[in-house]
Copies of this chain bind each other. A is one copy, B any other.
Amino acid sequence: MAYELWYWPTIPGRGEFVRLALEAGGIAYADKARELGEDGLMADMHARLPEPFAPPYLVADGLVIAQVAAILLHLGDTHDLAPGDPAGRHFAHQAQLTIADMVAEAHDVHHPVAASAYYEDQKPEAARAAQSFRDERIPKFLGWFERALARSAGDWLTGARWSYADLSLFHLVEGLRFAFPRRMGAVEHDCPAVTALHDRVAALPELAGYLASDRRLPFGDGIFRHYPELDRA
């Protein structure tokens, strides 16, 4: 049975981390909300047992799995998209959870006081949040990945083969470059291994078809947003 992926149909968002793993793994799936729209997504989600807290969620073989890192842990185990040894398996999961933390922070830069309000109604707060994110958080997070790559026994976060965590780090860098191009231009000088990892994923033959297709959605008003006034080198 093919997997069902359910996520907001108009943005890459958190769904993209799952989509990249499914695509790179050559795993059959239906991107359900892109067929059925947001109303279909909401109707499906509220009818599921257990009900996911939020999209994305994956449905397969009677299981409903929500939370990106949990979905990827499952796909990693089931489809060999991460190391099988305990240390490597745990590290891929930890790296994914750390990416999830940074994704949430990247969202909160433009929505620091209320996710339900418009950016336009929280611009002064966002300007302050962006400064902290640019100056402190981006170097802290990417520095941690840089050290992890420096210590890896191979080209990838967990050794000689790519895992779902590498795909996610690629997409994180893509999102940060979209939202903060000036800042990333400066920071990436200090993170050459992260940049090289990004380029290695971008060149994976397993992803070439997907990345060139219209299944790969452009960034827009999702988690990663480009507001020039929030970006600075």
Contacts and interface: CB of A to CB of B under 8 A. Distances in A.
Counting chain B CB atoms within 10 Å of each CB, which of A51, A114, A131, A141 scores highest? A114
Interface stretch (A5-13, A89-97, A175-183): A89-97
Which DSSP category, helix, strand, loop or mixed, fits chain A's interface?
helix
Contacts of A115: 132, 136
Contacts of A118: none
A139 B25 CA distance: 38
A223 B194 CA distance: 31
Contacts of A132: 113-117
Contacts of A49: 151
Contacts of A90: 63-65, 70, 74
B116 A51 contact: no
Interface string A111-134: 011111100001001001101100
Nearest to A68: B97
Nearest to A151: B49
A70 B50 contact: no
Contact of A148 (B50, B117, B122): B50
A101 B98 contact: no
Contacts of A94: 50, 52-53, 65-67, 70
Contacts of A73: 93
A104 interface: yes
The list of the 4 closest CB pairs from A to B, nearest first, reads A114-B132, A113-B128, A67-B97, A113-B129
Interface of A: 49-53, 62-67, 69-70, 73-74, 86-87, 90-91, 93-94, 97-98, 101, 104, 108, 112-117, 122, 125, 128-129, 131-132, 136, 141, 144, 147-148, 151
17 contacts: A49-B151, A50-B94, A51-B144, A53-B144, A63-B86, A63-B90, A64-B90, A66-B94, A67-B94, A69-B97, A70-B90, A108-B112, A113-B128, A113-B129, A113-B132, A115-B136, A116-B136
